[in-house]
Amino acid sequence: MLKAVARLACLLLLAATACFAQGKLPQLDRFDASMLDKSKNPCVDFFAYSCSKWQAAHPIPADMASVGVITPLFLYNQTILREAMERAAANPSATGTEQQVGDYWKSCMNLDERAAKGKQWLAEALKPVDAIRSKQELAGVLAQLHAGLLPAFESGDNEVYTAFFGFGPQQDMEDSSKMVAGFDQGGLSLPAREYYLDDDPASKQLREQFKKHLVRMFTLAGDSAEEAEREAAAVFSIESALAGPQMNSVDRRDPLKTYNKRSLAQIKAAMPDFDLDEYLKVAGAPEPPFYIVTTPGFFPAVNQQIKGRSLAELKSYLRWWVIRSAASKTTPELEQANFEFFGTVLEGTPRMLPQWRRCVASADARMGEALGQEYVKIAFPPESKARAVELMNGIRTALKQDIGSLDWMSPATRKQAIEKLDAMIQKVGYPDKWRDYSAMKIVAGNFYQNAISAENFEVRRELRKVNQPVDRMEWQMTPATINAYNDPQNNTINFPAGILQLPYFGPTESDAVNYGATGATIGHEIIHGFDDQGRKFDAKGNLRDWWTASDAKAYDERGDCLAAEYTHPVPELGPEVKTNGKLTQGEDTADDGGVRLALAALENLYKSLGKPMDTPESDGLTARQRFYAAYAFSWCESDRPEAERKQIATDPHSLARYRVNVPLSNVPDFARAFGCKAGQPMVREHACRIW
């Protein structure tokens, strides 16, 4: 949760199976001091002290990879969206977005139609690939697929999942007011390059399971057993060859490594056997003054595959990507089979979420600002927004004080840091101006066509941004999303209404709870503008080094300290599993700073009110203790081991238990609040601190 960079469309696949009663919103969780486990020592494992009772009471449902305090809220938000869609669907004279939402919902929920016509839809989807007669024609078909069935989008873990590579608009890093276009590595079905390259037994086994899955999917798509074997071998071989030259996820976090300006001629020279002119013509993007190639080392490998493989192998590769994407839009049988690998094998989840929840998630992803208007009316009253803005202002003041008092920063850097903080735009709840969906064509019936049409609308909308001024007020998350982000290139923090809800935030919760469970998250997002990635962008969002050499050195030393704290084995997941503090450094920096800022803001508030923070209140906790306990509670969750292994391998966010215990063990105030002594696990001898 809480992503660092823009355009990370991340969906948290967490949910609840609590009974769904139509017309009645599910109960939300909230912080309650009686849930603290007094049999555990808060100075040994604060996560266990705060979460073990909650975990014991909440086993992981069969249709989820994790369960957390976020789970009831996810169900709550989805229920509101479901009811909005059902209302739209029930109106026979609906027009505009109401017609779109209603018809999308009905077509998505109509499994009988998908079962009856899905095979025909899949054949239609495969037609352009089957019709390819020469390698020359490959580029045009790829552009067509990227514009509908296989849109290139960055996932929450900063990987692009589409055939061969991603192409789309990109904000110029040196001049954030301009939008150019860019190319990024892609082409892998498994979560990251290491899944193809690592040599441990678990990775090898997973690759065998993946190969079997490919055969199964080709067979379900109607190919003979022999064809399916041959096609699966081609897909696996091509993806394995693309994995090696990919940039790894640690390097991908460094904007200095991913900002590579290239002319069209240079990109063509890297891929002489790919008809780039045809690709761009079919994609229909305006020509920018230059392109940004995130990972230049990857593109010769694409060329090598196109040049060295037979046409049949290349077509098998594209067929797989079409089948994979069509699985969730055509026959239920294909969708179930695909889930059994990507959901069950990779994440350990035994079964799919109910159909209505998958339809809500898909509609939220494709027309989220239409649905979001309904969500905000019900779940985000003006009082909530006012209180959230107040909280944000408090956190910003705390950071300003912090920057002013840092002993390792010189006045020159300090001045620019304050300028950057002052220029940061905070967006709360929902956009000022809602997206115009009028050009999106949604019909009654035919879910496959509706899904492709919605993807195509979005790809076209994105591509139109090339050469246009940047809209800093646009949102990359929908209003009902339970997440937040910092966009360093626009210097904004963005808090959808979906996360400004219980148990994170409530207009009637105590200040200590709101500051611990949401203030720390606000601090987290603000700090992203000053983490190892964000600090390289200035007040305008331009990639520019505004640090003196000695301040940058002092920063890096502190960053290395944190990275070392977060790099350690995780024996409970297997002998080979180890966290990578370089991958999670930005998120860990934000967590550490976020908690400190929220505490400082709460202290400021208590001081201004003349209230004591260390006197036990009615629930037996002091405000200070409640602050830390509410922070920990906001991270209570249990994950399946498969999901944890995947998170450690691919996700720049540390596991929840570390997000609680590591930052708090770095804060001396925490030890004082709970009477912890030197030598106990929650008290670091050499605590790290940046902000």
Number of amino acids touching Zn ion (CB under 5 A):
3
Ordered DSSP codes for 529-575:
TTSTTGGGB-TTS-B---S-HHHHHHHHHHHHHHHHHT--B-GGG-T
**Residue number with CB closer to Zn ion (565 or 642):** 565
The H-assigned helical ranges of 200-331 are 201-220, 225-243, 255-258, 264-270, 276-283, 299-308, 311-326
Piece of the chain touching Zn ion by CB under 5 A; list 1-9, 42-50, 148-156, 158-166? 1-9
By Cβ distance, which residue is nearest to Zn ion? 2
C-alpha 306/C-alpha 165 separation (Å) is 13
Q: How far is the CB of 590 from Zn ion (least distance, A)?
A: 5
Shortest reach from residue 475's CB to Zn ion, in Å: 17
CA-based end-to-end distance of the chain: 20
Q: Least CB distance from residue 1 to Zn ion, whole Å? A: 7
Q: Which is nearer to Zn ion, 114 or 524 (CB)?
A: 524
Q: Specify the DSSP element, H or E, that contains 426.
A: strand 425-429
Nearer to Zn ion, 2 or 147 (CB): 2
- Nearest distance, CB of residue 689 and Zn ion, angstroms: 18
Minimum separation from the CB atom of position 406 to Zn ion (A): 21
Of 103 and 588, the one with the shorter C-beta distance to Zn ion is 588
Nearer to Zn ion, 188 or 522 (CB): 522
Please name the residues in contact with 366: beta carbons below 8 A apart, sequence gap of 6 or more: 104, 451, 454, 455, 458
State the minimum distance, in angstroms, from the CB of residue 683 to Zn ion: 26
Does residue 336 contact residue 66 with C-beta atoms inside 8 Å? no
Give least dist CB 438 to Zn ion, A: 34
Q: Considering only residues 188-227, where is the footprint of Zn ion by CB under 5 A?
A: none
User: Among residues 82 and 558, whose Cβ is nearest to Zn ion?
Assistant: 558
In angstroms, what CA-CA distances link 531 with 30, 253, 527?
A: 30, 11, 6
204: left (phi over 0), alpha (psi -120 to 50) or beta: alpha
Query: Using an 8 Å Cβ cutoff, are 74 and 14 in contact?
Result: yes
Of the pair 11, 33, the CB lying nearest Zn ion is at: 11
Q: For Zn ion, which is the closer residue by CB, 554 or 590? A: 590
What's the min distance (Å) between Cβ of 266 and Zn ion?
34
* Residues 670-689 close enough to bind Zn ion by CB under 5 A: none
For 576, other C-beta atoms within 10 Å of its C-beta total 14
**Rg of the chain, C-alpha, whole Å:** 25
Q: Provide the minimum distance between the beta carbon of 528 and Zn ion in the complex, in angstroms, as a whole number.
A: 6
Q: Does 2 bind Zn ion (CB under 5 A)?
A: yes
DSSP state letter for 178: B
Which residues sit opposite 537 in a β-bridge? Answer: 543
> Strand (E) positions, 437-528?
485-487, 492-496
Shortest distance, position 196 Cβ to Zn ion, whole Å = 27
Instruction: Kindly tell me which of 64 and 527 has the beta carbon lying closer to Zn ion.
Output: 527
- Please give the Cα distance from 491 to 328 (Å, whole number): 36
- Interface residues for Zn ion in 578-607 (CB under 5 A)? 587, 590
**CA dist., res. 10 & res. 476, Å (int):** 10
> Toward Zn ion, which CB reaches closer, 590 or 623?
590
CA-based nearest residue to 240, from 279, 206, 270: 206
482 binds Zn ion (CB under 5 A): no
| C-beta of 501 vs 533, nearer to Zn ion | 533
CA–CA distance, 181 with 167 (Å, rounded to integer): 7
CA dihedral 652, 654, 656, 660 (to 10 degrees): -120
8 Å CB contact between 6 and 487: yes
Q: How far is the CB of 493 from Zn ion (least distance, A)?
A: 10
Name the site residues for Zn ion (rule: CB under 5 A).
2, 587, 590
